[in-house]
Amino acid sequence: MDIDEFIITRRHPGGTIREELQSTFKEADCVKAPWVMMSANGRQRNPDSLLLETTYRWGHDRWHENRVSDHNPYGARGDVVCVDGVENAPAPLGPMHENLREADIARALLICCHYRIFSAESAREKMQSNMFCGTFTLGDVMSVDHPERVDGTLARKTRSRREYPPSSVTLRSSLRSHQKDMCTPDAADHSSGCSSETRSPQFDHRPRV
């Protein structure tokens, strides 16, 4: 995982990652939690709170041409039992989760929200510090950011954890009370939305849907 990736529970939003690993994924050595690509939505400056203020993401029923990078990190190696984070079904060992769609996101067990670009300021910083350096313009980088759906899942989880101690029963009740909200459209979007740690995490590193 990179510092801009956040794994969360999706199908059981009131549960924790640890609970999913100890129950649903107890027989697996590796869980491939697919990327859900978050979006800057035209923001120029870095947000005060990345998780609370970044609530737009790509629409994963659409095809997005990737003209900036082919980001395919190494996956786990060895004789391991690998499953996908959507249905806990057997999956090939490797970093890709092919053809993630909105229906998959809606029923997924674990999803990884990827905040690759969250402002023009952050894009400029990446252009100076990593693989974008000297290769692409700011326009190139921002052209592969797609604010197509509203998704406040991780923002709601973050607010709940700030309001209550992480171990409190009240926190779990608060999160579970949001279950319908997390699995139904946000009012501003009129469409479904949403967002994946594992023993040996695997992610969807394909910037296409």
Q: What is the pLDDT along the chain (209 residues), one digit of tens a residue?
A: 788 999 999 999 888 999 999 999 999 999 999 999 999 999 999 999 999 999 999 999 998 876 655 455 555 566 788 999 999 999 988 777 888 999 999 999 999 999 999 999 999 988 887 765 567 889 988 998 999 999 999 999 888 887 765 555 444 444 454 444 443 333 333 233 333 333 333 333 344 33
pLDDT of residue 181: 43
b/e sequence 33-72, b meaning 16+ C-beta within 10 Å: bbbbbbbbbebeeebeebbeebbbbbbbeeebeeebeeee
pLDDT of residue 164: 64
In sequence order, the 6+-apart residues with CB closer than 8 A to the CB of 98 are 206
Question: Do the Cβ atoms of 57 and 115 come closer than 8 Å?
Answer: no
Question: Do the Cβ atoms of 7 and 198 come closer than 8 Å?
Answer: yes
How far is 36 from 102, CA to CA, in rounded Å? 10
Question: Do the Cβ atoms of 164 and 79 come closer than 8 Å?
Answer: no
pLDDT of residue 53: 95
pLDDT of residue 11: 93
DSSP 167: T
Token duo for residue 100: 């993630």
Question: Do the Cβ atoms of 165 and 177 come closer than 8 Å?
Answer: no
100 C-beta neighbours (distance < 10 Å), count: 23
- Calculate helix-pair angle for 169-177, 153-163, nearest 10 degrees: 150
Q: Which residue has the tokens 């939690």?
A: 33
How far is 141 from 19, CA to CA, in rounded Å? 37
